[in-house]
Structure 1
Amino acid sequence: MSGLHRSSSAPLKNGLPPQELLDDLCSCDVLRPYVAHIDDIFKDFTDYKVRVPVTGAIILDETYERCILVKGWKGTSWSFPRGKKNKDEEDHACAIREVLEETGFDVSALLNKDEYIEVIFGQQRVRLYIIAGVKDDTPFAPLTKKEISEIAWHRIDDLQPATNEVISRGITGLKLYMVAPFLASLKSWISKHPSPLPPRPDLPLKGVSIWKAKNSSIGSNSMIVESQSNKLQSDAKPPDTGPGKSFRNFRFDTAAVLRALEGSFST
């Protein structure tokens, strides 16, 4: 068909659909009538995608010095856990669902519908609810496969843009395009709602990864999952159940022996 051929399998820069999509439409009797209008249909769909509201959460630790960031499965940029709303879904319900899917943490008990930061990106509204006071040892692990590659606590002060001109990277070099626009409002919120706990100077200066997925050498579909809790369990020594346990665990009670000797000599 003239005028519908695409030279690349990926969408072109002008927003046209890939050739594979055209081939699929042409091979389907039901969809074939729409081929002539595919450019308009594809444009309407892409325009719709960037208008769907997004909600999520900014999860703060107990001292409000750190927040949880997630890194996508593909790419190297970090963001707060969030995702697009379903049809007729309420903002807070979407945030609870998306955070649970991406981190495995249920924020429903901590979410206040009135505590959020909202930023408009082009035609898309992004609302992040502030979830404060989460313990350091809270387990995090995504419930969806191949969507999140890493979850980490990051110091909020280290997420500030490197310069006024560059807002996509923090001073630590992290890609923070979807984080930087929220930082000023987040710091303002923290100043008005100080943590009941004092700052912790012992916190690590760098981000602390608490869950990470790696491609396994066994195959591309396999994953090795590392988490803080798993590491602690793996480092723990297995219980001693082998023969001779009572002998190996025997220890002299020196104080008791000395008391017995003193008693025998005193009599």
Structure 2
Amino acid sequence: MSKLKISPNVLDDLCSRFLLNIPSQEKEDMIRLCFQIELAHWFYLDFFRAENNRLPDCRMKEFAKLVFETYPFLLNPSDVNVDKVLESWKEYKRSVPTYGAILMDSTLEYVLLVQGFWIKASWGFPKGKVNKDEQPEICAAREVLEETGYDITKSIKPNQFAEHLLNEQLSRLYFVRDVPLDTKFGPKTRGEIKNVQWFSVSDLPAHKKDQTPKQNLNIAANCFFMVIPFMKQLRRWIASQKSLEPEAPITKPKQILQPRPKGERKTQGKEKGRSSNQSPRSHYNGFGSPVKFSTSPSLSMAPKASNEKSFEDEQINSFKQGNNKALEDIYAIRTLNIKQENRNKPHQGGRGRGQYLHATNQGDGGLFVGKGKSLQAGSLPAAWVNFTFDRTSLERAIVNFHNRNKY
């Protein structure tokens, strides 16, 4: 005699929905009849009890015994043992293949797991038993949709799956990737799935004694006992997928200067009229730069410059007066004169506007060019054509030179 008490009106409603109108051949098959009673049990939990908390909670075994006691005509034969019928049904149910899917994000670092109401705190992949004459891929898509609310119909690849055989029951899970992490999941069935959550693959256990989930999630490994059988196949599949992905292109920074081969440097040096043994050096234009400017006969062409004044005096005076325009004019005129005088002569200052010039440490105001070559004050104007200081360093050099010659 069952101790469970459910209102007769509720039982009559459930019986009329799921038991009375089924084909007669299914009524005679006690295994098929138990599947219909299971549907009635789910409906009772999802609707009747959800709307009325006073109705008792129950498991499938208790509910089936109450149904057979209330409607004894369902038993075939009438004297059959209900416990034996339910045990036979459970054994058959365990042999029915289950199909589902392993849902992963685009990086293949996270996997989706579900937690049922009746299996304590255990987590597993969304899956379920196949219906009669139902194709495996269709069953997997249906079960995933029911348990997560996510449709994988167009994402299933029939030849990519993991399988496990336990107690003669086949479980097949299809690999589905590129599921957005921000997807809002919602089970379609009531009272079956309690939680749907992403887990890092690296946090899941590979075997029963694996302490990784305990250390990282504070969850015991036995809470993933339905996940463990598939972990080796899952990690193997992830590795194969990553090996097929093209390597990310290496983005090179713009304007990277690569050193030229020695032979090429020598050739280009000769073409540009400079010695091939000149090594690249940074020019020296610091605060104490000992640069000196020599006089030249063509300085008489500078604007407002008397014959008694030298080129350097004219520059210093213009600088003191803040007459930048005069400095520019002096430089322009001097440049034109030097270009005219040295049109057919190779430049002595190295290539690129004097970038390889730096001061000598001889105290004679010369400039060092390349290896062991110096431009003394007398030969400096020819190098001045291709030699450029920044304005601040030039001003400092002129002031320092003027102060040193005062004393």
> When the two structures are superposed, what TM-score results if normalisation uses the length of structure 1?
0.61
Contact 2:160–2:174 under 8 Å retained in 1: yes
* Percent of matched pairs sharing the same residue: 32
Assess, with a 3 A threshold, how the Cα gap between structure 1 residues 170 and 33 changes in structure 2: closer, same or farther: same
Cα distance per residue 1:246-267 (max 9 Å; x no partner) = xxxxxxxxxxxxxxxxxxxxxx
Match of 1:104 in 2: 149
Letter in 1 for 2:74: L
Distance 2:204 2:164 in 1: 17
Amino acid at match of 1:183: M
Seen in structure 2, the aligned counterparts of structure 1 residues 40 and 113 have a Cα distance that, compared at 3 Å, is same
Q: Which has the higher contact order (CA 8 A, sep 6+)?
A: 1
Q: Which residue of 2 aligns with 1:53?
A: 97
| RMSD over aligned Cα atoms | 2.9
Query: What is the 5 A alignment of 1:41-190?
Result: 41-74=85-118, 75-161=120-206, 164-166=207-209, 170-171=213-214, 172=217, 173-174=219-220, 175-190=223-238
* Contact 1:58-1:81 within 8 A present in 2 as well: yes
Any idea what SS the aligned residue of 2:162 has?
strand
The structure with more radius of gyration: 2
What is the distance in 2 between the residues matched to 1:185 and 1:151? 22
Q: What SS is found at the alignment partner of 2:79?
A: helix
**Closer, same or farther in 2 for the Cα pair 1:182/1:33, shift >3 Å?**
closer
Q: Which amino acid aligns with 1:185?
A: Q
Whichever structure has more strand as a proportion of its residues is 1
Aligned residue type for 1:31? L
Q: CA deviation at 1:90?
A: 0.7
CA distance in 2, matches of 1:76, 1:70: 10
Change (3 A) 1:160 1:169: same
* SS of residue matched to 1:105: coil
Q: Give yes or no for contact 1:168–1:180 (8 Å, CA) kept in 2.
A: no
C-alpha displacement at 1:40, in angstroms?
3.6
Q: Which residue of 1 aligns with 2:323?
A: none
Displacement of 1:182 in angstroms is: 0.4
**1:68 to 1:21, Cα distance in 2 relative to 1, 3 A:** closer
* CA contact 1:169–1:177 (8 Å) conserved in 2: no
Q: Which runs of 5+ in 2 are unaligned?
A: 5-59, 248-407
Distance 1:109 1:160, change over 3 A: same
Report the residue type matching 2:152 in the other structure. Answer: V
The structure that is helix-richer by fraction is: 2
Instruction: Using the TM superposition, give the Cα deviation of residue 142 of structure 1 relative to its aligned residue in structure 2, in angstroms.
Output: 1.2
Q: Which sections of structure 1, spanning at least 5 residues, go unmatched? A: 10-16, 199-267
Deviations 1:150-189 (A, max 9, x none): 111100010024xx55379944325101101100110001
- TM-score normalised by L of structure 2: 0.41
Query: Contact 2:108–2:238 (CA<8 Å) still a contact in 1?
Result: yes
In structure 2, C-alpha distance between the alignment counterparts of 1:143 and 1:20, rounded to whole Å: 23
User: How many aligned residue pairs are there?
Assistant: 185
CA distance in 2, matches of 1:152, 1:47: 31
